[in-house]
Amino acid sequence: MLVKTEEVHRTTVLLEYNMENQVEGCFVVKILRMEPNKVLKPFQPFSERIANIDVDVFHRVGHKFETESEGTETYFHKGLGKWSDLNLTQSFSDFKKDLPALQTLPQLLQQKDEVVAVLNKYIKLANPLSLQPILDLVIALARDLGQEFYPYYPEFVQNLTGLLNVKDSEQLEWSFTCLAYLFKFLWRYLVKDVGIVFTGLLPLLDDSKPDYINNFAAESFAFVARKVKDKKAFLILILKTLKKHPEGIGGCGRLLFEVIRGVSGQFHSCADTLLPLMFEMLTDNAVPCDLLFEVLTHMVAAMVTVIHPKKSTLFWSSIFNGRYEHDLELSHLCHGTS
């Protein structure tokens, strides 16, 4: 069986399935054309590949599924057609056979349960040869169904979380990109149940997870957290949850940093209200101040590595307007931003 690929580093390759070996994924790579004097990309260790992953889908040029679909054809059907041309593996062929026949939105709505079941089945199989297109089709389905997709969100997140226990940078990137787009397309529904959504995400913010998992999860969910109108209630929710799950303190500190983080070493506009609020809450006897201080310590530790010193005025004005004894201790963490 032949598998077409796109041109990679200007080298056209054809992957030929080795029919003598019954294990899918054993390929003979034939180089059909190579540009003269082309230097091959050197091997990158896992840590470098992880550092190069970008799951910030919120500042990218729009995803193909963000533009309005023309006619009655769904994003899901378009995506299926595209990947049918690009991915000729047996695994993806089996996936397509399991799907019901559908093209229009009414057909998709009528058979959404079957489509969701097939997607989740193949996400759990986690075949690296077909996982990327399947996760891309999850994004397409969310775009097509909108609010109708929301009841299926918890199961998809649970299955996506199951894909993260690997040291495969591509699988990690595909999984978190899918999760980030779900947050982007479904945020209007997620903010209404932000407590449930946050609790479901908390395992990814756990101290037992690698830092890159904490960071990717925080960066992805920060978009939804910014949309929560009652920021104080959201902070109290975090603290109540951390009382039961203190292993998430560091990850939640990272989350709060990602919420107030803007671009180019600056604060996000929401920091104008959120930063003063966090430090004011340190004086509130109704709040577990020591726990909040510990969370803010992690937030500040992340902040000083990213926020440019000349852009840190908001932090200093917020911290010195506070009257809590821990404020001075926090300021010591930030001496590098002055």
CA-CA distance, 113 to 134, in Å (whole number)?
Answer: 16
Tokens 């040029």 sit on residue: 61
Would you place residue 176 in the very low, low, confident or very high pLDDT band (cuts 50, 70, 90)? very high
- Beta strand residue intervals within the chain, DSSP E: 2-3, 12-17, 27-33
pLDDT reading at 22 higher than 60: no
Give residues with Cβ within 8 angstroms of 228, minimum separation 6: 191, 194, 234
The total of other beta-carbon atoms located within 10 Å of residue 321's CB is 11
- Residue 338 has what pLDDT? 47
Q: What is the pLDDT of residue 94?
A: 98
41: confidence class by pLDDT, cuts 50, 70, 90: low
**pLDDT score, position 72:** 73
pLDDT of residue 244: 96
Least confident of 45-49, 96-100, 283-287, 329-333: 329-333
pLDDT tens-digit readout, 264-292: 999 999 999 999 999 999 999 999 999 99
Model confidence band, residue 33 (pLDDT cutoffs 50, 70, 90): very low
- Rounded Cα distance between 240 and 212, Å, is 25
- Whether the pLDDT of residue 203 is over 90: the answer is yes
Give a yes or no: residue 3 inside a domain.
Answer: yes
pLDDT of residue 70: 56
pLDDT at 312: 92
Does any domain span residue 124? no
- CA–CA separation, 331 vs 337, rounded Å? 10
Percent of the chain having pLDDT more than 90? 70
Q: Tell me the range of 39-48, 72-81, 109-118 where mean pLDDT is highest.
A: 109-118
- Is 126 within 8 Å of 25 (Cβ atoms)? no
Q: Using the predicted structure, report yes or no on whether residue 157 has a pLDDT greater than 50.
A: yes
Least confident of 46-60, 87-101, 131-145, 322-336: 322-336
10: region left, alpha or beta (phi > 0 left; psi from -120 to 50 alpha): left
Q: How many CB atoms lie within 10 A of CB 333?
A: 16
Q: pLDDT exceeding 70 applies to what percent of the chain?
A: 77
C-beta separation of 226 from 268 below 8 A:
yes
- Residue 142 reports pLDDT greater than 70: yes
Number of domains in the chain: 1
Q: What does the alpha-carbon distance between residue 103 and residue 74 come to, in Å, rounded to a whole number?
A: 6
pLDDT given for residue 59 in this prediction: 56
Instruction: List, as own/partner pairs, every contact residues 188-194 make where C-beta atoms lie below 8 angstroms and the sequence separation is at least 24, other chains included.
Output: 188/227, 189/147, 189/150, 189/153, 190/150, 190/153, 190/224, 191/224, 191/227, 191/228, 191/229, 194/224, 194/225, 194/228, 194/234, 194/237
> What is the average pLDDT score of the chain?
83
- Lookup: tokens for 328: 């001075």
Polymer length of the chain:
338
Q: Is residue 243 part of a domain?
A: no
Q: Provide the edge-to-edge strand list for the sheet that holds 2-3.
A: 2-3, 12-17, 27-33
49-53, 105-109, 183-187, 190-194: the lowest-pLDDT one:
49-53
* pLDDT tens track for 96-130: 999 999 989 999 999 999 999 999 999 999 999 99
pLDDT of 20 over the 90 cut: no
Has residue 16 been placed in a domain? yes
pLDDT computed for residue 129 by the predictor = 96
Structural domain harbouring 17 = 1-37
pLDDT level of residue 84 (50, 70, 90 thresholds): very high
Highest mean pLDDT out of 5-14, 32-41, 88-97 = 88-97
C-alpha span between 52 and 297 (Å, rounded): 26
- Identify the helix (H) or strand (E) that includes residue 268: none
Count Cβ atoms within 10 A of the Cβ of residue 109 and give its class: 0-12 exposed, 13-18 middle, 19 or more buried.
Answer: middle
Position 211 in a domain: no
Q: Is residue 20 part of a domain?
A: yes
Give the model's pLDDT for residue 320: 79
Whether pLDDT at 147 is above 70: yes
212 pLDDT above the threshold of 60: yes
Cα–Cα distances in Å, from 69 out to 65, 103, 147, 322? 8, 13, 17, 50
Which range among 26-40, 128-142, 183-197, 217-231 shows the weakest confidence by mean pLDDT?
26-40
Q: Is residue 8 part of a domain?
A: yes
The torsion region of residue 69 among left (phi > 0), alpha (psi -120 to 50) and beta comes to beta
Task: Tell me if 14 is assigned to some domain.
Answer: yes
Question: What's the whole-model pTM score?
Answer: 0.78
